[in-house]
């Protein structure tokens, strides 16, 4: 009996030693396992950062200045993943006063690009469900992010109106994903008009930002997550001074088409020059 128990212990120890090796081999040679490991690490990093930084952010109370803590904590992730981020046209954002940023939305990975270009005193408008995600929601609230209920039109309109007043009063910048959901297709989804109503109500300019497709190194559909290059293009501002709510549909479509054209151009350049240093794209 003792000999049998001893053999079981040896076998158990052997299996425990083999597990890390098996995991390492799977990570190295199985693309799907590799993908899920990287996604899990990304999510764990966000939760850990939110948990660790929230007590420090709470000392200052709810403030947009706490966004600086989150940005600093998320930036190192690009080095872990071997993702090179190129930004063209960032000088367009170097103006004083409030404005609205609209950006295409592909995946959670957008965070890596957003923290590179989001200016000071700027917060995203995010879905209300995020508020209930434990310490992540708490960190977002402490950072001054604006929560919107996408399923209640009247509440969303009220949030837009309140945000427009806050932008003028506190010189706040706001970032919105006008597609409303993640989209990894080659073309952009139809834009929701909330961001454009906000800009018109506040009478502030709009800055379109386009992030190049991730498909060369990341795809949730194909379970692919390798290293690669991401290009971010900040387009010239679109003025809204003098515009009224009746101009919003045309404004929305004009900005969407400008961004769609830039995305198509960046997709072509990315396929042709993947991994090479690219010259700045021409300004619009």
Residue (of 131, 91, 114) closest to 235 by Cα position:
91
Lowest mean pLDDT: which of 113-122, 184-193, 208-217, 225-234?
Answer: 184-193
Strand 122-127 to 146-148 pairing: parallel
Lowest mean pLDDT: which of 24-33, 202-211, 269-278?
Answer: 269-278
Q: Which two tokens stand for residue 269?
A: 């350049």
Tokens 């039109």 — which residue?
Answer: 153
Mean pLDDT of 140-169: 90
- Pair 191, 255: CB distance under 8 Å: yes
Apex 246 CA angle, 245 and 251, nearest 5: 85
State residue 238 phi and psi, 5-degree precision: -115, 120
**Band of pLDDT at residue 271, cut at 50, 70 and 90:** low
pLDDT at residue number 274: 46
Compute the half-sphere exposure of residue 191: CA atoms within 13 Å on the CB side of its CA: 25
Q: What percent of the chain is predicted at pLDDT more than 90?
A: 68
Residue 54 has pLDDT above 50, yes or no: yes
How far apart, in Å, are the Cα atoms of 245 and each of 230, 241, 251? 35, 12, 10
pLDDT at residue number 8: 64
Q: How far apart are CA 204 and CA 122, in angstroms?
A: 14
Q: Which two tokens stand for residue 31?
A: 């693309």
Residue 283 has pLDDT above 70, yes or no: no
pLDDT, tens only, 103-136: 999 999 999 999 999 999 999 999 899 999 999 9
**Average pLDDT along the chain:** 87
Q: Which two tokens stand for residue 88?
A: 């063209």
| Domains along the chain with CATH numbers | 15-269 (3.40.1130)
Strand 100-103 to 206-211 pairing: parallel
Q: What percent of the chain is predicted at pLDDT more than 70?
A: 88
pLDDT at residue number 5: 59
Under 8 Å CB-to-CB from 247, ≥6 apart: which residues?
Answer: 200
CA 267 to mean position of chain CA atoms: 19
Element (H, E) at 206: strand 206-211
Considering the entire predicted model, what is its pTM?
0.86
């Amino acid at each position: 009996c003792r000999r049998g128990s001893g053999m079981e212990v040896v076998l158990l120890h052997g299996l425990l030693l083999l597990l890390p090796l098996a995991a390492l081999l799977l990570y190295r040679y199985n693309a799907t396992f590799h993908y899920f490991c990287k996604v899990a690490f990304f999510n764990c990093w966000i939760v850990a950062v939110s948990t660790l930084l929230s007590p420090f952010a709470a000392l200052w109370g709810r403030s947009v200045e706490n966004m600086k803590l989150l940005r600093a904590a998320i930036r190192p992730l690009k080095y872990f993943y071997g993702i090179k981020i190129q930004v063209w046209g960032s000088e367009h954002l170097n103006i004083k006063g409030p404005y609205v940023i609209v950006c295409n939305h592909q995946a959670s990975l957008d965070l890596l690009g957003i923290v590179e270009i989001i200016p000071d005193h700027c917060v995203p408008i995010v879905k209300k469900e995020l508020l209930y995600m434990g310490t992540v929601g708490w960190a977002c609230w402490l950072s001054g992010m604006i929560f919107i209920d996408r399923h209640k039109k009247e509440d969303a309109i009220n949030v837009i109106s309140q945000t427009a007043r806050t932008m003028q009063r506190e010189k706040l910048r706001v970032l919105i994903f006008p597609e409303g959901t993640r989209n990894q297709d080659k073309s952009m989804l139809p834009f929701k008009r909330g961001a454009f109503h906000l800009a018109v109500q506040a009478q502030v300019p709009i800055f379109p930002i386009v992030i190049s497709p991730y498909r060369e190194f990341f795809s949730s559909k194909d379970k692919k997550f390798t290293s690669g290059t991401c290009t971010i293009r900040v387009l010239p501002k679109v003025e809204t001074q003098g515009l009224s709510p009746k101009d919003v549909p045309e404004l929305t479509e004009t900005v969407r088409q400008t961004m769609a054209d830039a995305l198509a151009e960046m997709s072509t350049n990315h396929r042709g020059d993947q991994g090479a240093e690219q010259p700045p794209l021409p300004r619009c």
